[in-house]
Amino acid sequence: MSMGEIDAWVDAMVAPLAAGVSALIFAEIKVFGAGFPLVVLWLVAAGVFFTFYLRGISIFGFRHAVSLVLGREDRDARHGEVSHFQALSTALSGTVGIGNIAGVAVAIGLGGPGAAFWLAVAGFLGMSTKFAECTLGVMYRREHPDGSVSGGPMYYLERGLAETGRARLGRALGIFYAVGIVIGCMGIGNMFQVNQAFSQFVSVTGGSESWFANKGWLFGLGMAVLVGAVIVGGIRSIARVTQILVPVMAILYLVTGLIVIAFNAEALPWAVREIFVQAFTGEAAAGGALGALIIGFQRAVFSNEAGIGSAAIAHSAVRTDRPTTEGHVALLEPFIDTLVICMVTALVIITTGYFDPDFAAGRNGIEMTSAAFARTFPFFPNLLAVAAIMFAFSTMLAWSYYGLKGFTYLVGERELPAIGFKAVFCLFIVLGAMLQLTSILDFSDAMVFVICIPNILGLYLLGPRLRREMAVYVADRARDRAQGTERGEVG
């Protein structure tokens, strides 16, 4: 049986289930004639709620967050495995990826320049949601005798809701979340990433004439070996790699993008005006200004994963004795991912449209972004291939850890099952490069987003405990400053 026949057979088997689950999870309501996915509305509503409930923490906590990441505070912690910077780098490695390159182009292609405005708004709202879930992740994490920790939505749903008298509900939601993250990590965090990286690699090495065109197994095997060599050492090994890889790939991409924008400086005032004007009065193909809003929100929550809860798994491993410190650090994640990297991509694409309004014709996703960059740097498609591989590699590192923690929550913290999970994860990398399993990817994509339902429900129910933890932290910092001490939280 050929690879194409295997693809078709597996897709045919999974397609009915994938279609049903996707239709349920991504069901839409009509708002003035435009479809608004309920799951996106659920995520955005949480961002709005926590922005006000936490009293603008994304604004007033930003400076303190930067101080923590730079290591100026919270240096006397005794519990945890990785630094604030390493936790942030690991979480960012799971969100900064192909979506920052291709997803933004899709949003602008469908929603026009105005989609970029709403993408930024949704990114800002997501900062508060990240603060909430990552603070709770540290509050309810489980510490093991060897010093390692396990945390994330599974644990704060079970342990946190048990404190409120909802033990059965918490356990059920925790199991549901764990199953979803395990399935999702194999698709969106694994097979999709390597598949997109391989496609970009083939396109710059000769396309269908490339020697690698029919050797996805070889590319996948190479990626699996690299990923396996890192994840075998657990979160500490992953953090050591991501703390170097994430800044390098982000800076490389941003510097390139800013240079392109500088070359297109003539178009910048027009681009900014179009972003703001079309956000409210646009005539986008997706339904005018409302279509731009919906698409911008959708791409933002798909990119930074605020409300999904996955990042809380990485942030829970941080070395800190004060959970609120990691909430502050986590709010930087949507800022970097969405308000910085995605907006640079958006400006590159929109300014290019000023000089050539038809450049996007016949292009979508990563092709549009590549064409926009190539207008200034003809060799950019080659750099984009390198970036795509780096983004895919870093995303797989983070999602292997997310899936592992979901798996060990279900079966227990035992070494042999954990090794088995990592082996299966690496096997799926090889399969992802070889096969075009559209239905499996659709199913795993849906499972990733369905877990936002129990996660955000838990955030609402645990909101009062979160506020109390914040109040204690604020009081401690005020007392430290008043006493003139240096307990790691002055600033």
| Sequence ranges of the domains in the chain | 3-483
Give the pLDDT of residue 490. Answer: 43
Give the pLDDT of residue 285. Answer: 47
Dig out the tokens for 25 from the structure.
Answer: 């999870």
Give the pLDDT of residue 272. Answer: 92
Give the pLDDT of residue 151. Answer: 93
Give the pLDDT of residue 467. Answer: 94
| Alpha carbon 8 to its chain's center | 30
**Entry pTM:** 0.88
DSSP label at 209? G
The answer to whether the beta carbons of residues 119 and 111 sit under 8 Å apart is no
Burial of 269 (0-12, 13-18, 19+ CB in 10 A): exposed
Give the pLDDT of residue 491. Answer: 42
Alpha-carbon separation of residue 464 from 160, 231, 458, 470 (angstroms): 11, 36, 11, 10
Q: d(Cα 257, Cα 345) in Å, to the nearest integer? A: 7
Q: Which CATH code fits 3-483?
A: 1.20.1740.10
Instruction: Measure the CA angle with vertex 256, ends 254 and 259; round to 5°.
Output: 105
Alpha-carbon separation of residue 337 from 119, 141, 305 (angstroms): 11, 25, 10
The Cβ of residue 239 has, within 10 Å, a number of other Cβ atoms equal to: 27
The answer to whether the beta carbons of residues 158 and 334 sit under 8 Å apart is no
Give the pLDDT of residue 102. Answer: 74
Q: Walk along the chain (491 residues) in steps of 10 and give the mean pLDDT of each run.
A: 58 68 76 73 91 93 92 71 90 80 78 85 92 95 87 95 94 95 86 81 75 81 93 89 88 88 91 87 56 72 82 92 93 91 90 76 71 81 79 90 94 90 92 70 73 94 95 85 57 42
Q: d(Cα 397, Cα 431) in Å, to the nearest integer? A: 17
Helical pair 366-374 and 343-355, crossing angle rounded to 10 deg: 60
Give the pLDDT of residue 34. Answer: 64
